[in-house]
Amino acid sequence: MSDTKAHVPVLLAETLAALNINADGCYIDGTFGRGGHSARLLDALSPQGRLIVFDKDTAAIEEAKQYFSGDQRLQLRHDSFANMARLGTEQDLFGKVDGVMLDLGVSSPQLDEAERGFSFSRNGPLDMRMNTAGGETAAEWLAHVEKVELVRVLRDFGEEKLAKMIAAKIIQYRTDNVLETTQQLAEIVRSCYSPQYKGVHPATRTFQAIRIHINQELDDLVQGLNDAFELLAIGGRLVVISFHSLEDRIVKRFIRDTQVSHTPKHLPVIEQTTPYLKSVSKLVRPSDAECEENPRARSGRLRIAEKVMP
Ligand SMILES: C[S@@+](CC[C@H](N)C(=O)[O-])C[C@H]1O[C@@H](n2cnc3c(N)ncnc32)[C@H](O)[C@@H]1O
């Protein structure tokens, strides 16, 4: 792929090792991006191996078509990984997949291209949709959202302490202005913070929160994890890279809860009768060297689990 530089894959070697690749196996990359992980996964597969990739983003899938066309082992799906169960039904894959990986969040091209509207440091239209083929843009949503809902989103998805003040300013601003650019939004948020404020850019949490809401990222994650679990074969690996604590908490609890929910209450854990996820290692963080080379890796956290039978 000539465009791999557009997005530097995070925790690449660790992810590949975590997948414990069987060369003839069937794998799913739920977040193709620019194919950094997928390309290396394909390298490790034999002609009998299969890789099915998802991405919500039309541009990501277009790139995949361009660079991987002709590789019979690869199947592309312009879809959310939250629809993995549909794949299972269509292709009879329940209990047959050797590994599912998710590298959550946004890709560097999404952040770097101003017109995508994800970045507060690049002025562009307030879009923030991963899938530009449909759905409401951030500008459209901000034009009608009720204050109470906006506060909830900023708090729940951004952990923003000034959620009430920022929501009030946005609502006030839109009564006399059209809120349509990333710069306008970043400026509104900045005006809520004291000039003495020191920390990440004040708009970081607001942009994260709105992006998560617009793309239903946490709902998709919960559904995707459930589907991945059903698709995995016994011995199959679930490998997830997350970039903030909200995602990581969901992944951590999901892995823990499969064990609890699949254990009949009247039986001790050792008499569990249905498959569950067993955590394979502690949380893996990028090395200092990786963070130095790729600052976007800094917040990456990798969790690895294996589907096991008691
Ligand atoms: C961090 S990037 C993945 C980068 C990729 N691993 C690489 O090395 O090039 C995340 C990608 O996942 C996609 N994405 C996020 N949530 C998704 C979802 N629910 N379903 C499908 N794709 C999703 C985004 O559009 C983005 O392209």
**Ligand 1 in contact with 60 (CB < 6 A)?**
yes
Tokens of 114: 């101003």
Looking at residues 86-100, what average pLDDT do you find? 97
Q: What percent of the chain has pLDDT over 70?
A: 95
Looking at residues 163-185, what average pLDDT do you find? 97
- From the CA of 7, give the closest atom in ligand 1: 9
User: What pLDDT, on the 0 to 100 scale, is given for residue 1?
Assistant: 43
Q: Give CATH for domain 4-109+217-308.
A: 3.40.50.150
User: What pLDDT, on the 0 to 100 scale, is given for residue 3?
Assistant: 44
- C-alpha to C-alpha distances, 301 to 39, 87, 136, 159, 224, nearest whole angstrom: 21, 27, 30, 19, 18
Segment 283-300, tens digit of pLDDT: 999 999 999 999 999 999
Number of H helices, E strands in the chain: 13, 7
Looking at residues 89-118, what average pLDDT do you find? 96
User: What pLDDT, on the 0 to 100 scale, is given for residue 268?
Assistant: 60
Segment 195-210, tens digit of pLDDT: 999 888 999 999 999 9
Cα maximum dimension of the chain: 65
Distance from the alpha carbon of residue 77 to the mean position of ligand 1, in angstroms: 12
User: What pLDDT, on the 0 to 100 scale, is given for residue 273?
Assistant: 75
Which has the closest alpha carbon to 121: 209, 9, 207?
207
Segment 217-263, tens digit of pLDDT: 999 999 999 999 999 999 999 999 999 999 999 999 999 999 776 55
Dihedral sign of CA atoms 120, 124, 126, 129 in order: negative
Environment class of 190 (CB within 10 Å of its CB; exposed 0-12, middle 13-18, buried 19+): middle
Segment 5-19, tens digit of pLDDT: 588 999 999 999 999
Asked whether residue 148 carries a pLDDT value surpassing 70, the answer given is yes
Distance from the alpha carbon of residue 274 to the mean position of ligand 1, in angstroms: 31
Taking the CA of residue 226 as centre, how many other CA atoms within 13 Å lie in the half-sphere pointing to its CB? Answer: 11
Asked whether residue 101 carries a pLDDT value surpassing 50, the answer given is yes
Segment 51-75, tens digit of pLDDT: 999 999 999 999 999 988 889 999 9
Tokens of 227: 């589907």
Q: Cα angle at 27 between 235 and 111, to 5 degrees?
A: 125
Tokens of 2: 């000539």
**Ligand 1 in contact with 129 (CB < 6 A)?**
no
**Ligand 1 in contact with 82 (CB < 6 A)?**
yes
Domain residue ranges in the chain: 4-109+217-308, 132-214
User: What pLDDT, on the 0 to 100 scale, is given for residue 269?
Assistant: 57
User: What pLDDT, on the 0 to 100 scale, is given for residue 272?
Assistant: 59
φ, ψ for residue 146, nearest 5 deg:
-75, 150
- Give the separation between CA 220 and CA 175, rounded to whole angstroms: 33
- From the CA of 101, give the closest atom in ligand 1: 6
**Ligand 1 in contact with 35 (CB < 6 A)?**
yes
User: What pLDDT, on the 0 to 100 scale, is given for residue 271?
Assistant: 59
**Ligand 1 in contact with 54 (CB < 6 A)?**
yes
Q: What percent of the chain has pLDDT over 90?
A: 89
- Of 2.60.40.10, 3.40.50.300, 3.90.190.20, 1.10.150.170, the CATH number of 132-214 is 1.10.150.170
Asked whether residue 264 carries a pLDDT value surpassing 90, the answer given is no
Distance from the alpha carbon of residue 273 to the mean position of ligand 1, in angstroms: 34
Mean pLDDT of the chain: 94
